[in-house]
Amino acid sequence: MRWNLMFDCLVEQRWAVTAVLSDRTITKLQDARTLEILDEYWLIMEEIAPVLATLKCATAVMSTETQVSISNIYPIIFSLLKTHHLRSEDDSRRVGEFKSKVRRSLSTRMRVDTDDYLNRL
């Protein structure tokens, strides 16, 4: 869950980070060049954060119990695959690719074939 929090905090503090990096009384030019985050990367963080939030929520739900039942895990994974991580027309190319990679990884790791799962219900 830390990556999601990191993106959220950075995006929230974008202007403060930029101001500190631009102030030569605080940050040397060479350090500022090394630490600078390009506009493209800010945009990626803003776009990916909502997708990561769904993973954060799923992780939190599965982590709340001391003994998580498999009967809870598969419906959560299934929900991520069939609802939250489907590509939509509104998604940027990067977000769509990220969702596809997450879906593929979850499907492989959890051995979840959503169509097969539906047939078993």
pLDDT in tens, 88-115: 888 899 988 988 898 888 888 877 665 5
Q: What is the mean pLDDT of residues 73-96?
A: 84
Roughly how many angstroms between the first and final C-alpha of the chain, as a whole number?
Answer: 31
The pLDDT of residue 34: 94
Nearest in space to 86 (alpha carbons), one of 54, 116, 117: 54
The pLDDT of residue 94: 92
75 Cβ contact partners less than 8 Å away, ≥ 6 residues apart:
none
How many domains is the chain partitioned into structurally? 1
pLDDT in tens, 15-74: 999 999 999 999 999 999 999 999 999 999 999 888 888 888 888 877 776 766 777 788
Measured distance CA(80)–CA(32) in Å, rounded: 39
Q: Are 62 and 110 in contact (CB under 8 A)?
A: no
The pLDDT of residue 21: 95
What are the C-alpha distances in Å from 15 to residues 37, 49, 80, 107?
Answer: 11, 18, 33, 38
- For residue 37, the enclosing domain spans 2-120
